[in-house]
Amino acid sequence: MKAIQAALLGIGTVGGGTFEVLNRNSEEITRRAGRPIRIVTVADRNLEHARKVVRDRAQIIDDAFAATQDPQIDIVIELIGGTTVARDLVLSAIEHGKHVVTANKALLAKHGNEIFAAAQKKGVMVAFEAAVAGGIPVIKALREGLSANRIQWIAGIINGTTNFILTEMRNKGLSFAEALKQAQELGYAEADPTFDIEGVDAAHKATIMSAIAFGVPMQFERAHIEGISHLQSIDITYAEQLGYRIKLLGITKMREQGIELRVHPTLVEADQLLANVEGAMNAVLVQADAVGKTLYYGAGAGAEPTASAVIADLVDVTRLHTSDPEHRVPHLAFQPEEVRELPVLPIEETVSCYYLRLSVSDETGVLANVARILAEQGISIHGIRQIAAPAGATRTDVIVLTHETVEKQVNTALAAIEALPAVHGAAVRLRVEHL
């Protein structure tokens, strides 16, 4: 059968990996797809680099828009990244009747609603397995494998850079700045690591998972995002002593009143599988009503792991290329007319357990006052620990672990606690999830 023709936009790390794996495994991939898949055009601004990777195996151009308009192209693979040119390219490809495969999480989290609506109108597919957790087929699992279930919540380590940094901080006792430097030297973190360390990349991915798990539009602008740049080594140490590890989790939960969508450093019990995902690896834990918990683990980034997801999408699109658009898997897992506008709850309305670290004067009545204020807000204490102050010290750390409570009650309690004369500075507040 005639090969399906693809244009690859951007031949950086993932583009190069995709080109290589598609060539290397072409026989196996053709046996699966039912016809060969050929990248016939590669568009990249850096023609010299593109020539080095591609050699004479495809046409090389520097105008990606020409590829989105080329009548010979069936599938456009967008691996340029960003949300400006990439958005225009994806919309142009759709407008010209091409299917799209993309790894661009930022683009989908911010403009997915517009892109999927355009694709729906044109009867083309937009596939995005590589956008979340790199090589782990978690989009496939959420959209298809779990379609019998009501999905209740998802909690994932979906940013390898921050997981590497947190692992180094815990294992080697490094500060955040030292661990970040090491991540940059080893090539895990970008020169500008802001999106990773401030939780934005994880929030893009959590937004996408939330939409396909619950059948709601992409609501990235409503996600609560906290990164790890303010995390102190002392809290990693105290958490460890209390039987927890700190992970940057992307969390989305279905609650009666709406959806929780949040990214933040989180204490997870040390014996949980998720707590033991180390280095740059990713893992996503899904709780669903029929199947219970399922866990998806693997490489969340890198040339060939991400290429694995891109090519799986190419195979899916190739198999369904000639099918009736109404009988394909819907973009957001739910039929478009069934996608519902459920609100994302403000962070003050979310429910969690908390780790609170207070710096207090080591004197009579401090703990009694703290306990009284928590009780006044209906916050139940799960555990409390005073770190023995060294001889001669007048201040000491007190750690309080709470049971589940609504965040706004913690805010009110902390304002009152921080106003006590015996409490010094702002409390450190981290969320705890019992998964």
339, 351, 297, 77 alpha-carbon torsion, rounded to 10°: 40
- The nearer residue to ligand HSE, 195 or 355, going by C-beta atoms, is 195
Q: Which residue has the tokens 């102190």?
A: 232
Q: Nearest approach, Cβ of 199 to ligand HSE (angstroms)? A: 11
Q: Nearest Cα to 116, choosing from 143, 148, 150, 145?
A: 143
Q: CB of 131 within 8 A of CB of 108? A: yes
Residues 83-112 that bind ligand HSE (CB under 6 A): none
196 is an interface residue for ligand HSE by CB under 6 A: yes
Which residues fall within 8 angstroms of residue 389, CB to CB, at 6 or more apart? 362, 395, 396
**What span, in angstroms and rounded, lies between the C-alpha atoms of 4 and 212?**
28
Q: Nearest approach, Cβ of 301 to ligand HSE (angstroms)? A: 4
159 is an interface residue for ligand HSE by CB under 6 A: yes
Q: Examine the residue annotation and report whether 205 is marked as an active-site residue of this protein.
A: yes
The DSSP bridge partners found for residue 24 are: none
- The nearer residue to ligand HSE, 196 or 407, going by C-beta atoms, is 196
- The nearer residue to ligand HSE, 77 or 413, going by C-beta atoms, is 77
Q: Nearest approach, Cβ of 87 to ligand HSE (angstroms)? A: 18
The correct pick among 225, 300, 345, 405 for binding ligand HSE (CB under 6 A) is 300
**What span, in angstroms and rounded, lies between the C-alpha atoms of 236 and 247?**
10
- The nearer residue to ligand HSE, 100 or 280, going by C-beta atoms, is 280
243, 247, 253, 259 alpha-carbon torsion, rounded to 10°: 130
The correct pick among 89, 136, 277, 301 for binding ligand HSE (CB under 6 A) is 301
Number of residues in contact with ligand HSE, rule: CB under 6 A? 7
Stretch that binds ligand HSE, among 155-163, 313-321, 337-345, 357-365 (CB under 6 A): 155-163
Q: Is 419 left (phi over 0), alpha (psi -120 to 50) or beta?
A: alpha
Phi, psi of 124 (to 5 degrees): -115, 160
**What span, in angstroms and rounded, lies between the C-alpha atoms of 382 and 366?**
18
Contact pattern from residue 248 through residue 287 relative to ligand HSE, giving x for each residue in contact according to CB under 6 A and a dash for the rest:
----------------------------------------
Q: Nearest approach, Cβ of 7 to ligand HSE (angstroms)? A: 22
Stretch that binds ligand HSE, among 154-162, 219-227, 228-236, 253-261 (CB under 6 A): 154-162
Q: Nearest approach, Cβ of 225 to ligand HSE (angstroms)? A: 15
Q: Nearest approach, Cβ of 269 to ligand HSE (angstroms)? A: 23
Stretch that binds ligand HSE, among 68-76, 153-161, 228-236, 246-254 (CB under 6 A): 153-161
161 is an interface residue for ligand HSE by CB under 6 A: yes
Helix or strand holding residue 6 (H, E): strand 4-9
Q: Is 313 left (phi over 0), alpha (psi -120 to 50) or beta?
A: alpha
201 is an interface residue for ligand HSE by CB under 6 A: yes
- The nearer residue to ligand HSE, 4 or 136, going by C-beta atoms, is 136
**What span, in angstroms and rounded, lies between the C-alpha atoms of 318 and 41?**
17
- The nearer residue to ligand HSE, 110 or 357, going by C-beta atoms, is 110
305 is an interface residue for ligand HSE by CB under 6 A: no
160 is an interface residue for ligand HSE by CB under 6 A: yes
Which residues fall within 8 angstroms of residue 370, CB to CB, at 6 or more apart? 358, 360, 398, 400, 417, 420, 423
Stretch that binds ligand HSE, among 3-11, 159-167, 288-296, 337-345 (CB under 6 A): 159-167
Q: Nearest approach, Cβ of 275 to ligand HSE (angstroms)? A: 18
Q: SS3 for 264?
A: strand
- Burial call 388-406: b when 16+ CB within 10 Å, e when fewer: eeeeeeeebbbbbbbeebb
- The nearer residue to ligand HSE, 7 or 300, going by C-beta atoms, is 300
Angle between helical axes of 160-172 and 176-185 (0-180°, round to 10): 120
Q: CB of 261 within 8 A of CB of 209? A: no
User: Per the residue annotation, which of 98, 110, 140, 205 is the catalytic one?
Assistant: 205
Q: Nearest approach, Cβ of 94 to ligand HSE (angstroms)? A: 23
Phi, psi of 430 (to 5 degrees): -125, 150
Footprint of ligand HSE on this chain (CB under 6 A)?
159-161, 196, 201, 300-301
Catalytic residue ranges: 205
